Amino acid sequence: MGTLRVLAATDLFEPAVGGLERAVATLGEALSDRGHVVRVATLSIPGLPGRDRSGALDVIRLAGWHETFGPLYQDRHRPFHPTIPDPTVVKGLVAQIDEFRPDVLHAHGWILHSAIAARRLRPDVRLVVTLHDYSLTCPKKNNTRAGASCGVGGPVRCVTCATGQYGLPRAAALTAGLRTGGRRLGDVDAFVPISRAVLEVSRAAIPAGAVVELIPSPVSDHALAPATGPRPAFVPDGPYLMFAGEASTHKGIDVLAEAHALLGHEPPLLICATRPSAAAPWNAPNTTVVVQRDHPEIVAAWRSCAVAVVPSVWQEPLGLSALEAMACGAPTVGTLTGGLRTSIRDEVDGLLVPPADPRALARAIRRLLDDEPLARRLGESARQRARGYAAADVARAHEALYRRLLADG
């Protein structure tokens, strides 16, 4: 069928740790395994080279406004793209298109707005965007307001809501960019929401008649592979509960801490945080918090935990952390929110409880701890469920989409 050349444009990439970054890397590696050539273009980070290598992927780090306005970012090592085209990033993407000659420019995150501008200058390349969250319509990316699900808001409502996260000037600028950016979305060849939850929220912003293909984020081969190697040194002795991801309130870390207290702080709780967070229960009894562990270590920890807990309060777009725990055969408790409602089938692959309900969460955890046959049955079913998200299958679906777009001209 011929080799495809794919330029993946993403706000963040390794060493940044998160579901989006892991999904981009896993998809790129899986496409490479299928004989295609993938290059990643991402925003520059202080101290890292402009050209790098990550496994089978070339990585190019692009200059942009984030370098000039670095002091305005909470973390200069996580420089999110604005919601309008950044002329310097556009220039960098055009240079990469000219040098790499991709068939497809595949955007992930708000760098889409520069990718659209670059595609207008190089119209022969097809443009695809994966919708990993609610950032097509929400300046906070999480579609929540005052801790609850948000409907379609007007600009004043969005600015007011986002001010608490960004401050008024940035909230107003991001909201204005999203409002005006809707006119640019007609240049996108295909939209790829990772779940029906994301599609439902994003649908209002997707142009009528646009190609929309629901393709989930991939679960890594490492998570699906048979267990090998010892338990990581940071893992507690004996049975333990485990959380992995951003240790924040929208991820339900405070709800989990309260549920653990209701369980008498037994068994031990392991929190593998993607980065330092004041919200993490650093000093809670019988709780271990580790930060920025390598993905293979996280997978090894999932494999030996008694219960995996995904207590998200926000509308989790897919629940990649839950799927990776499930791939490892971990009995999993999630919440009835967002994509978790379909990633985990209640009483089949795991247990689902209402979000922000520590008592319900504690009861579900206790049920799995006390009923070993149930935990074993759910863990085995979860492992099979996660195989439906295997990286090779997700890559195959993307390849088919790319080829259809190229055939349509």
330-364 pLDDT, tens digit each: 999 999 999 999 999 999 999 999 999 999 999 99
> Which range (52-56, 119-123, 276-280, 349-353) has the least confidence?
276-280
pLDDT greater at residue 276 or residue 217: 217
Q: Let me know whether 202 and 236 are in one domain.
A: no
User: What does the DSSP 8-state code read for residue 191?
Assistant: E
User: What does the DSSP 8-state code read for residue 390?
Assistant: B
C-alpha closest to that of 336 among 327, 326, 328, 347:
347
E strands present in 274-385: 287-291, 307-309, 332-335, 351-353
What pLDDT is attached to residue 379?
A: 97
Q: Let me know whether 383 and 398 are in one domain.
A: no
**Residue 298 pLDDT greater than 90, yes or no:** yes
What pLDDT is attached to residue 76?
A: 63
User: What does the DSSP 8-state code read for residue 313?
Assistant: -
162 pLDDT band (50/70/90 cuts)?
Answer: confident
73 pLDDT band (50/70/90 cuts)?
Answer: low
**Residue 17 pLDDT greater than 80, yes or no:** no
Helix (H) or strand (E) holding 105: strand 104-108
DSSP 3-state of 233: coil
228 pLDDT band (50/70/90 cuts)?
Answer: confident
Token code pair at residue 56: 């089978």
Distance of CA 266 to the CA centre of its chain: 30
pTM of the model: 0.93
Q: Let me know whether 155 and 248 are in one domain.
A: no
Q: Let me know whether 91 and 110 are in one domain.
A: yes
Percentage above 90 pLDDT, the chain: 74
When pLDDT is averaged across residues 307-311 and rounded to a whole number, the result is: 99
Q: Let me know whether 51 and 178 are in one domain.
A: yes
Q: Let me know whether 211 and 275 are in one domain.
A: no
Q: Let me know whether 118 and 226 are in one domain.
A: no
Compute the mean pLDDT over every residue in the chain, rounded to the nearest whole number.
92
Q: Let me know whether 350 and 273 are in one domain.
A: yes
What pLDDT is attached to residue 23?
A: 95
348 touches 372 (CB < 8 A):
no
**Residue 201 pLDDT greater than 80, yes or no:** yes
302 touches 332 (CB < 8 A):
no
Distance, in Å, from the CA atom of 377 to the CA atom of 379, rounded to the nearest integer, reads 5
Q: Let me know whether 397 and 380 are in one domain.
A: no
Q: Let me know whether 250 and 304 are in one domain.
A: yes
* Burial of 377: CB neighbours in 10 Å, binned 0-12, 13-18, 19+: middle
Q: Let me know whether 244 and 189 are in one domain.
A: no
When pLDDT is averaged across residues 296-303 and rounded to a whole number, the result is: 95
342 touches 195 (CB < 8 A):
yes
**Residue 395 pLDDT greater than 80, yes or no:** yes
Q: Let me know whether 35 and 176 are in one domain.
A: yes
When pLDDT is averaged across residues 252-279 and rounded to a whole number, the result is: 95
**Residue 71 pLDDT greater than 80, yes or no:** no
Token code pair at residue 291: 């930060």
Distance, in Å, from the CA atom of 132 to the CA atom of 88, rounded to the nearest integer, reads 24
pLDDT digits (tens, 9 = 90+) for 374-383: 999 999 999 9
340 touches 298 (CB < 8 A):
no
What pLDDT is attached to residue 141?
A: 85
Distance, in Å, from the CA atom of 81 to the CA atom of 209, rounded to the nearest integer, reads 27
The CATH number of residue 114's host domain is: 3.40.50.2000
pLDDT digits (tens, 9 = 90+) for 76-105: 667 889 999 999 999 999 999 999 999 999
Distance, in Å, from the CA atom of 362 to the CA atom of 353, rounded to the nearest integer, reads 10
What pLDDT is attached to residue 170?
A: 81
What pLDDT is attached to residue 77?
A: 66
Count of the separate structural domains present in the chain: 2
First-residue to last-residue Cα distance in the chain: 17
What pLDDT is attached to residue 74?
A: 60
* Backbone angles phi and psi of 289, in degrees to 5: -115, 120
HSE (CB half, 13 Å, CA atoms) of 102?
28
Token code pair at residue 10: 């993403």
Computed on alpha carbons and rounded to an integer, the radius of gyration of the chain in Å comes to 21
User: What residues make up the domain containing 18?
Assistant: 5-218+390-407
